[in-house]
Structure 1
Amino acid sequence: MTNYILPREQTVERIDKLCGRLFELWCEERKLVPLAYLLHCWPLTGHDAAAIKRLADTMSDLSRFQPGKLSTRESIVVREVIGSAREVVGTPLPRGAAAAHGASALWTRVWRANAAGQAPAVAVADFLDGPL
């Protein structure tokens, strides 16, 4: 059986690779505004929660305040970076927002259950979307 919930280190490495792809793409296309947002918080200096939260917040600002600067493909990658970073940090996604890989329902249930002091209610259907 495949482990769909990646350990923290692997998730951070995935975030770093996605940011590297965005960096290369935005450099090639000379997209200065998105590149400025990315370089404000990347490359990650470590796996500390503060750096990862800053990345999630900055990419969230980019997608919220400069949506016209991103193509559809870039928006999807940016949302995946945001969702993965927030999952690593433990920050719940904003209400109504879905993680790029479909695991937001799982993480919302786990977060709410932990806040209420209950055991998380995880269904098999939460894992059917597949890996990142």
Structure 2
Amino acid sequence: MLPDDINAGCAELFDIWCERRVVRPLRHLLRTWPLTSGLTDDWGDLHEALRALRSDCRAAISEAEQVTVNDLIQAIAVNFFQR
């Protein structure tokens, strides 16, 4: 998954959660996304926000959304932290 795919995944989750008005996951996501500079620190912050979202918001998001969050976390780790 490329950085553009990660951003697209975040945008998709953002749209879904806005439509359903689930504030808690949005609060986690919007803390760090959209990225401001795209530097490694931004990606690290997004990675941590998604991990916090995963642990804090399980009841608020669907299984499919949980899969997407997990995929995004993994993609960020592979692209930015395992080099």
Which TM-score applies when normalising by structure 2? 0.91
Q: CA deviation at 1:75?
A: 0.2
Tell whether 2:13 aligns with 1:22.
Answer: yes
Counterpart of 1:96 in structure 2 is: none
1:12 to 2:12 alignment? no
Secondary structure at 1:41 match in 2:
coil
Q: Which runs of 5+ in 2 are unaligned?
A: none
Unaligned runs of 5+ in 1: 1-5, 92-110, 112-132
SS in 1 for 2:31: helix
Which one has the bigger helix percentage? 2
Report matched runs for 1:48-127 at 5 Å: 48-91=39-82
Aligned length: 83
Identity between Structure 1 and Structure 2 (%) = 27
CA-to-aligned-CA distance 1:62-116 (integer Å, 9 cap, x gap): 111221111101101101110111112215xxxxxxxxxxxxxxxxxxx7xxxxx
Provide the rounded CA distance (Å) in 2 between the counterparts of 1:46 and 1:76: 26
Structure 1 vs Structure 2 CA RMSD: 1.4
Letter in 2 for 1:23: F
Q: Distance in 1 between matches of 2:61 and 2:35?
A: 22
Greater radius of gyration (CA)? 1
TM-score (norm 1): 0.59
Q: Give the ranges of 4+ consecutive aligned residues of structure 1 lying more than 2 Å apart after TM superposition.
A: none
